[in-house]
Amino acid sequence: MKKLGFILLSLSLMIGLLPANQGKTSGVFSDVEADYWAYDMIVTLADEGVIKGYEDQTFKPHRDVTRGQAAMLIGRAMDIDTSNRPDPGFSDVNKETSGYEYIAALTDEGVFVKADKFNPGASLKRDQMAKVLVETFELTGLSNQQFDDVPETHWAHDYISTLLANEVTTGKTPERFDPVGSVNRTQMAVFLYRVLGMDGYESEPSGDDSNIVDEAMTKAVLDGINAERNAAGLKPLSTDQSVQKVANLKAFDMMENNYFDHYSPTYGSVFHMLDNEGVTRVAAGENIAAGQQSAKAVVEAWMNSQGHKDNILHQSYTHVGVGYAEGGEYGSYYVLVFIGK
C-alpha cells in the first residue's frame, strides 16, 4: 500500500534536514518503525537472537553501544561457547557484571586484550569496533581508501582499512572516519549484519526492466531546478554522466529496499558513492524526496523547504544528477546529487 503525502530530505556538507517520523513500528521494538532504513537488519538480528531490546520493548537505536554490550552482541553473533572460561582478570568486571560470560569468553579467545580495566560501561569507539570485528571474524584485505584522520601510524589503521575492504562500514565523510566517535546501537546492528554475510551487497542494482530510467521525468526535474536558478540570476547546472549514475542508483535503491534516508544500506553515503565512481569535486550535496506526483510538484516542494532550496541555489554547485524511480511504498522517489567542480 502506497503512503499518502510526500517527504523530503536534503544533505550537503553543511545542511541536513530530517523528516518527521511516520509509519508503523516493527512489532519487535516499539521505537523501530517499519520504514526505518535499518529496519530489516535490526529485525533479522533480533529474530536470530543476536540483539535484544530493553524491558520497555524499545531498541533505542541512537543510544551508544557500551563495551559490555558489544561483547554480548559479538558473542551471540558468534554463538560462542561461554562455559568453563577463566576469569578475564579485569578489576572492573566480576560475575555480576552484565555480559560477564561473553567478556570472559572473548578475552579467553584473544579478541579483547587483557589489561587492568575493561571499562564495560564505556561507549565503544569506532576504532575499537574495527579491531574487534576484524579479529573476531578473521576478516582480511586492505582498502585503497585513506582517511585524513586515520594516518598509517594510527594503531587501528589496518583494522579500519580491512573493514572498508569488506564493505562493512564507510567513513563519516569521504575524508573522515572519526575513529574515536562512538558507535550507536543501529550502527552496530548494521555492522554485524554485514559481517555475518547477510547483506547481499551488490555494487549496482540488477539490470532488469524495473531499473529503466524515465528520461522525460528526469529532464523535467532538471528543467525545473534550472528555471529556479535562472530566476535567481545563477548559471544553470550541467549534467554529468557519473553523477547521473549515482543519482539513479540511489533512487532505485530507496524504492527497492523500502527506506528513505541519505545513508544507503547498500552503498553508504552519497559522498562514498561519488568516490566509488571516481567523481572529483570541491563540494557536494543531495536532495531526496518521495511521494510527489510530478516534476513540478517535487521542485515546488524543494523550493518551499529552506535546506533544499539552499542546495538548488547553491553558487558552488556546477553539475547535477537527477534520479527518479517509480514504485515502492511511496510510489515515487526523487534524488538530486549536486557537485561543484
Q: What is the pLDDT of residue 217?
A: 86
Is the separation of the CB atoms in 302 and 266 below 8 Å? no
pLDDT in tens, 8-39: 555 554 333 223 333 333 457 888 888 777 88
HEC per residue, 129-154: HHHHHHHHCCCCCCCCCCECCECCCC
**Tens digit of pLDDT for each residue in 61-111?**
889 899 999 999 999 988 899 999 999 999 999 999 999 999 999 999 998
User: Could you tell me the pLDDT band of residue 330, with boundaries at 50, 70 and 90?
Assistant: confident
pLDDT given at position 209: 35
Q: Pick the residue with more confidence: 302 or 326?
A: 302
Q: What's the pLDDT score for residue 2?
A: 37
pLDDT confidence of residue 206? 31
Question: How high is the pLDDT of residue 5?
Answer: 46
Full-model pTM = 0.53
Cell of 46: 533480533
Average pLDDT over residues 119-126: 94
What pLDDT band is residue 1 in, cutting at 50, 70 and 90? Answer: very low
Q: Quote the pLDDT of residue 323.
A: 93
DSSP characters for 260-292? -SSSBTTTB-HHHHHHHTT---SEEEEEEEES-
Q: What is residue 339's predicted lDDT score, i.e. its pLDDT?
A: 94
